[in-house]
Amino acid sequence: MSQSSCKTIKTTCAYCGVGCGIEASVNETERQVLINGDDNHPANFGRLCSKGSSLGETIDVSSRLLTPYIGQQATDWNTALDAVASTFSQIIAEHGPDSVAIYGSGQLLTEDYYVANKLMKGFIGSANIDTNSRLCMSSAVSGHKRAFGTDTVPNCYDDLELADLVVITGSNMAWCHPISYQRIRAAKAKNPNMRVVVIDPRRTATCDIADLHLPLAGGSDVVLFNGLLNHLVNGQYLQQEYIDNHTQGFAEAVAAAQQDAGDLAEVALRTRLSERDLVTFYNWFAETDKVVTAYSQGVKQSSSGVDKVNSILNCHLATGRIGKPGAGPLSMTGQPNAMGGREVGGLATTLAAHMEFNIDGDTDRVARFWNAANMATKPGLPAVELFEAIAAGKIKAVWIMATNPVVSLPNADQVKAALQQCPFVVVSDCVANTDTLELAHIKLPAQGWSEKDGIVTNSERRLSHQRALLPPAGEAKPDWWIISQVGQRLGFKDAFNYQHQVEIFREHAALSGFENSSEQRLRDFDISAFANISQQQYEDFEPIQWPVNQQYPNGKERFFADGQFYTPNRKANFIALTGRAPGNLPDQEYPLVLNTGRLRDQWHTMTRSALAPRLNQHRPEPFVEVNPQDAAKYGLKDGHIAHLQSRWGQMYARVNVSESQVAGDVFVPMHWTEQYASKGRMGAVVNPVVDPVSGQPESKHTPIRIAPYQAEWHGFVLSRQPLPDAGIDYQVKVNCQGYLRYELAGYDQSSLSIDWVKQWLSQVYPALSWQYLDDAKLGLLRVAGYQGNSLMFVLCIATTPDIRMLPERNFLSSLFAKSQLQPDERLALLSGLPTAGAEDTGAQVCACFNVGEKTIRKAIRENGLTSYQEVGKCCKAGTNCGSCVPEIKTILASMVETQPA
Ligand SMILES: Nc1nc2c(c(=O)[nH]1)N[C@H]1C(S)=C(S)[C@@H](COP(=O)(O)OP(=O)(O)OC[C@H]3O[C@@H](n4cnc5c(=O)[nH]c(N)nc54)[C@H](O)[C@@H]3O)O[C@H]1N2
Ligand SMILES: Nc1nc2c(c(=O)[nH]1)N[C@H]1C(S)=C(S)[C@@H](COP(=O)(O)OP(=O)(O)OC[C@H]3O[C@@H](n4cnc5c(=O)[nH]c(N)nc54)[C@H](O)[C@@H]3O)O[C@H]1N2
Ligand code: SF4
Ligand SMILES: [Mo]
């Protein structure tokens, strides 16, 4: 990139709720962006993880939705917006405001989110606007409101470093909030007194820094924390003055905890943990003043998610450890603007600016501020119910923005069917193809990260500016603009007459301060200091934690150490809790528990992360992780394919036999969709049970059965061009540097032949010279296609159930990366045997420097390396973001074990 045409722009990462600051060097003419961490951003101080640092690889426009579509027909904005507005109008006129809905996302910017909520709740007159945050944050929101009277995260990231005990529960922070995890790792290295406890049914990468790992039974968190509350009471570890002066309901909570978890042996039984480990954890918690409990989806995505949250908050309130440096509960938000969504009231059950339907005067207050034409007066439907109402025909038009519910909602085949029969589906997205866009009547192209511009708020309530780096792709528009245009066309010209997003931000800031001085009901969320922000100040916006008002012009790090809460009498509530079993339990027919979650290098439904070749190498295929005992019991072999089935749906995934999984539990990553894996859409399998208070689905606990998929053949193709669906059971696409890789498997091999290959591939490659090897005896079918001397594709199929008959993918990939092949390489290509000097680097471990497992093993062996730091010095692996350090340590450990004595 030439220096002269570069400009440097500060922005925030597109991905997780850590909210890291980025310094981007932008070359507009080449549409290239170089990504570096922003040294001054308080979330990351210059560090970025593998996802953040590869953002530059994801901004190509080739996969983007570039223009609006009505049906299959490209159209202009006016026509598309008119069609959206007139159809919504008509349906509202005929069936009332509750017959339409918006389904939004924590990946919208605050300004987008604010306008969507205003349109639906203030002007269309229904609260049927919910968001994917229902699947993500809603149990934390409800738990906070029950305890504090408001949805406030009391602590901040610095506390992760200041603590002497960090309890990480239901969170694979090493992969999902990598930079926060790195901060804990670094703090622990400096503070010998610091301990880390990880509570997770799986042994995850996060356990790498754990002094204690509690592999509790899925869903048993309330019992575990009720047991802790008992321990605190029995050992007199309470902060009695705080309890007496600033809380209520303590006696009832203790009585319930004693009833539920008074007997340690029973707690051990129900949590599947040993009494010794329980006592260790309880003692550490009791005896350490500075304790932070960081929690995420293992806590929230549960049919007792809200109770789990309150069981944690109970223990922090009982010890007065809340909102203090190094002490307090910290809910880690998932999406880049999950917190912003909570501020604007993006959930169907809340109002804007932390106001509530069920608090006297709030609905009227919002209505007056907006001068609302049709203020909604009651909560709308939460996500799972909202899609059930679509299926039932009660909701007849839905507008989906920045989320992919056909993949991410539970019982996703039902969701798909609901959208198929819904009379009017509008989808705003950045990319051209998703499983949800396929069902849209109207597609609207939204600006994505690197083009859109607005404010986001991270897990610690810190607002940051996400800035535009490049001009929009094609006709893409900001989401706030699209929504405002529809608002105007629905007849609300004045209310949606925004020219620039700063006008929306000012309005949002003003609403947060509206009737929010001490005479009225005080609300915690107050950024009224920005109500008159100039455009220049907005452009220069520096990261700051809310509240930002007259009292706190520079923001505020922590809440509640002073014991002042937002309930009517200002006291926090203890909640009396009883542990409940998950909604569906395994039985003879469905004997295993399916747990789902995230991988280090993929983001959700892969629409952005899978565009970066280096993020696809760590775990290229959908997989199911099973304990060796279960593998033996169900006849599953490592590396082969399994069929998973629940009462709701089915999927295929590759088997990964692993001790990190407890027998009886299996784990599947949430990421694959029909765009990448023909039958790997995991949402289809997941049960639609929800928490009764928050409505958040139980994504971590579905009874399933598993069986080997009896593939008669396996194979893969490396191809320059994308290939069509081959109509087989297992076809997985992997984007690589300059080409694509497809993994294939099928049941029926009778149709496998050179002719079949030609028929399939000539759709994409009509005129090539073909080279092939078809050896029925050896069970080999190999085909390569050349254009002149350039290799266009190579296909390798083993017509036997034995996957070892396939050549090494990494070696073939290295050949494929070359544009021209020598004769010996052409031969090697079909034989699958490495040419002299070619090196097989093995499966990728370090995404930042693309270092493979075999390279690392070789470096260790040849240089006698004993620590991950030495490995880093030798081959760079693990020296950038550090997310692969746990894996490097596992490799080191395995090599120590296998070394001859
Ligand atoms: N790489 C990557 N990072 C991401 C994302 C991504 O897609 N990819 N997404 C972002 C988003 S939106 C979110 S919400 C966060 C989620 O971040 P996390 O919550 O950390 O991620 P998950 O993998 O969904 O689940 C966390 C862990 O909960 C455990 N668990 C399951 N059941 C239970 C239980 O009953 N009790 C306890 N204590 N633990 C249990 C699972 O085994 C899993 O390891 O990640 C964010 N960061
Ligand atoms: N089984 C199971 N299911 C889960 C989870 C789980 O752990 N297990 N986790 C749940 C959680 S926590 C979450 S957050 C969800 C995430 O699930 P989704 O929200 O469905 O997943 P994403 O892939 O993030 O979808 C975002 C979509 O918006 C598009 N997009 C990105 N930026 C913009 C923008 O600025 N404007 C517009 N209009 N579009 C944009 C992307 O291209 C993509 O299609 O999944 C939930 N579902
Ligand atoms: S931790 Fe990684 S994904 Fe999350 S904001 Fe930071 S760089 Fe982005
Ligand atoms: Mo999330």
Query: What are the C-alpha distances in Å from 378 to residues 129, 350, 359?
Result: 12, 9, 11
Res 824: pLDDT: 79
Question: What mean pLDDT comes out for the span 590-612?
Answer: 96
Q: Ligand 2 in contact with 697 (CB < 6 A)?
A: no
Q: Same domain, yes or no, for 509 and 378?
A: yes
- Closest residue to atom 29 of ligand 2, CA basis: 402
Residue 839 within any structural domain of the chain: no
Kindly give the pairing relationship between strand 592-597 and strand 702-708: antiparallel
In ligand 2, which atom is closest to the CA atom of 444?
A: 38
Domain that holds residue 887: 844-897
pLDDT digits (tens, 9 = 90+) for 33-54: 999 999 999 999 999 999 999 9
Whether 688 contacts 648, CB under 8 Å: yes
Question: What mean pLDDT comes out for the span 801-820?
Answer: 78
- What ranges in 96-220 are assigned the alpha helix state H? 110-117, 138-148, 158-162, 173-176, 178-190
Specify the pTM: 0.95
Q: Ligand 2 in contact with 220 (CB < 6 A)?
A: no
Counting every residue, how long is the chain?
901
Q: Same domain, yes or no, for 611 and 493?
A: no
Q: Ligand 2 in contact with 140 (CB < 6 A)?
A: no
- Number of compact structural domains in the chain: 6
C-alpha to C-alpha distance for 565 and 449, rounded to whole angstroms: 37
Res 803: pLDDT: 78
Q: Is 50 exceeded by the pLDDT of residue 900?
A: no
Residue 584 within any structural domain of the chain: no
Whole-number Å distance, alpha carbon 599 to ligand 1 midpoint, is: 9
pLDDT digits (tens, 9 = 90+) for 127-184: 999 999 999 999 999 999 999 999 999 999 999 999 999 999 999 999 999 999 999 9
Whole-number Å distance, alpha carbon 180 to ligand 3 midpoint, is: 9
Q: Same domain, yes or no, for 131 and 143?
A: no
pLDDT digits (tens, 9 = 90+) for 356-388: 999 999 999 999 999 998 999 999 999 999 999
Whole-number Å distance, alpha carbon 106 to ligand 4 midpoint, is: 8
Assign residue 347 the CATH number of its domain.
3.40.50.740
What is the distance, to the nearest Å, from the Cα of residue 8 to the centroid of all Cα atoms in its chain?
28
| Eight-state DSSP code of residue 567 | S
What is the distance, to the nearest Å, from the Cα of residue 807 to the centroid of all Cα atoms in its chain?
34
* 633/897: higher pLDDT: 633
Q: Same domain, yes or no, for 667 and 793?
A: no
C-alpha to C-alpha distance for 367 and 515, rounded to whole angstroms: 13
Q: Is 60 exceeded by the pLDDT of residue 870?
A: yes
Whole-number Å distance, alpha carbon 160 to ligand 1 midpoint, is: 18
Q: Same domain, yes or no, for 88 and 231?
A: no
Whole-number Å distance, alpha carbon 199 to ligand 1 midpoint, is: 12
CA angle 174/175/181 to nearest 5° reads: 30
Q: Same domain, yes or no, for 268 and 309?
A: yes
Paired tokens of 475:
């006709």
Whole-number Å distance, alpha carbon 313 to ligand 1 midpoint, is: 19
Domain termination site, one of 308, 331, 354: 331
Assign residue 688 the CATH number of its domain.
2.40.40.20
Res 894: pLDDT: 83
Question: What mean pLDDT comes out for the span 463-485?
Answer: 97
Question: What mean pLDDT comes out for the span 316-328?
Answer: 98
Paired tokens of 561:
């150490």
Smallest-distance ligand from the CA of 180: 3
Q: Ligand 2 in contact with 68 (CB < 6 A)?
A: no
Nearest Cα neighbor of 422 from 386, 381, 376, 378 is 386
In ligand 1, which atom is closest to the CA atom of 172?
A: 20
Q: Is 60 exceeded by the pLDDT of residue 835?
A: no
C-alpha to C-alpha distance for 743 and 755, rounded to whole angstroms: 19
In ligand 3, which atom is closest to the CA atom of 49?
A: 2
- Closest residue to atom 39 of ligand 2, CA basis: 402
Whole-number Å distance, alpha carbon 116 to ligand 4 midpoint, is: 20
Q: What is the chain's mean pLDDT, rounded?
A: 94
CA angle 596/601/607 to nearest 5° reads: 85
C-alpha to C-alpha distance for 137 and 697, rounded to whole angstroms: 11
Residue 818 within any structural domain of the chain: yes
Whole-number Å distance, alpha carbon 449 to ligand 2 midpoint, is: 14
Whether 884 contacts 878, CB under 8 Å: yes
Res 249: pLDDT: 98
Residue 551 within any structural domain of the chain: no
Res 901: pLDDT: 39
Q: Ligand 2 in contact with 288 (CB < 6 A)?
A: no
Q: Same domain, yes or no, for 173 and 296?
A: yes
Q: Ligand 2 in contact with 649 (CB < 6 A)?
A: no
Residue 221 within any structural domain of the chain: yes
- Closest residue to atom 6 of ligand 3, CA basis: 20
Whole-number Å distance, alpha carbon 47 to ligand 3 midpoint, is: 9
Where do the DSSP E strands lie in 648-762? 650-657, 665-669, 702-708, 713-719, 730-736, 739-746
Whether 719 contacts 787, CB under 8 Å: no
Domain termination site, one of 669, 686, 708: 708
Residue 103 within any structural domain of the chain: yes
Q: Same domain, yes or no, for 317 and 168?
A: yes
CB-neighbour burial class of residue 534 (10 A; exposed 0-12, middle 13-18, buried 19+): exposed
Instruction: Determine the residue of 58, 107, 296 to mutate for testing ligand 1's pocket, defined as the one with the most ligand atoms within 8 A of the Cβ atom.
Output: 296
Q: Same domain, yes or no, for 201 and 216?
A: yes
C-alpha to C-alpha distance for 286 and 282, rounded to whole angstroms: 6
Paired tokens of 204:
């995850």
Question: What mean pLDDT comes out for the span 704-728?
Answer: 93
pLDDT digits (tens, 9 = 90+) for 754-794: 888 888 998 899 888 888 888 878 788 889 998 887 889 99
Q: Is 90 exceeded by the pLDDT of residue 609?
A: yes
Assign residue 43 the CATH number of its domain.
3.30.200.210
Res 841: pLDDT: 78
| Eight-state DSSP code of residue 804 | G
Q: Same domain, yes or no, for 415 and 343?
A: yes
CB atoms within 10 A of CB 862: 9
Whole-number Å distance, alpha carbon 861 to ligand 1 midpoint, is: 35
- Closest residue to atom 42 of ligand 1, CA basis: 202
pLDDT digits (tens, 9 = 90+) for 276-316: 999 999 999 999 999 999 999 999 999 999 999 999 999 99
In ligand 3, which atom is closest to the CA atom of 18?
A: 5
Q: Same domain, yes or no, for 478 and 461?
A: yes
Whether 383 contacts 688, CB under 8 Å: no
Q: Is 80 exceeded by the pLDDT of residue 751?
A: no
Residue 552 within any structural domain of the chain: no
pLDDT digits (tens, 9 = 90+) for 525-584: 999 999 999 999 999 999 999 999 999 999 999 999 999 999 999 999 999 999 999 999
Whether 227 contacts 261, CB under 8 Å: yes
C-alpha to C-alpha distance for 818 and 804, rounded to whole angstroms: 25
C-alpha to C-alpha distance for 709 and 21, rounded to whole angstroms: 45
Assign residue 199 the CATH number of its domain.
3.40.228.10
Which residues sit with their C-beta closer than 6 Å to ligand 3? 13, 15-16, 18-20, 44, 48-49, 51-52, 177-179
DSSP 401-439: ES--HHHHSSSHHHHHHHHHH-SEEEEEESBS--TTGGG
Which residues sit with their C-beta closer than 6 Å to ligand 1? 16, 136, 169-173, 175-176, 199-202, 204, 216, 218-219, 221, 296-299, 302, 334-335, 595, 597-598, 600, 602-604, 700
C-alpha to C-alpha distance for 191 and 302, rounded to whole angstroms: 34
Whole-number Å distance, alpha carbon 848 to ligand 3 midpoint, is: 13
Res 836: pLDDT: 53
Domain termination site, one of 685, 708, 731: 708
Res 854: pLDDT: 87
C-alpha gyration radius of the chain: 27
Q: Is 70 exceeded by the pLDDT of residue 692?
A: yes
Residue 347 within any structural domain of the chain: yes
pLDDT digits (tens, 9 = 90+) for 73-84: 999 999 999 999
In ligand 2, which atom is closest to the CA atom of 686?
A: 1
* 541/858: higher pLDDT: 541
pLDDT digits (tens, 9 = 90+) for 248-261: 999 999 999 999 99
Res 828: pLDDT: 75
- What ranges in 171-323 are assigned the alpha helix state H? 173-176, 178-190, 221-234, 240-246, 250-261, 264-271, 275-287, 297-300, 305-318
Q: Same domain, yes or no, for 193 and 302?
A: yes
Whole-number Å distance, alpha carbon 332 to ligand 1 midpoint, is: 10
pLDDT tier, 729 (very low <50, low <70, confident <90, very high otherwise): confident
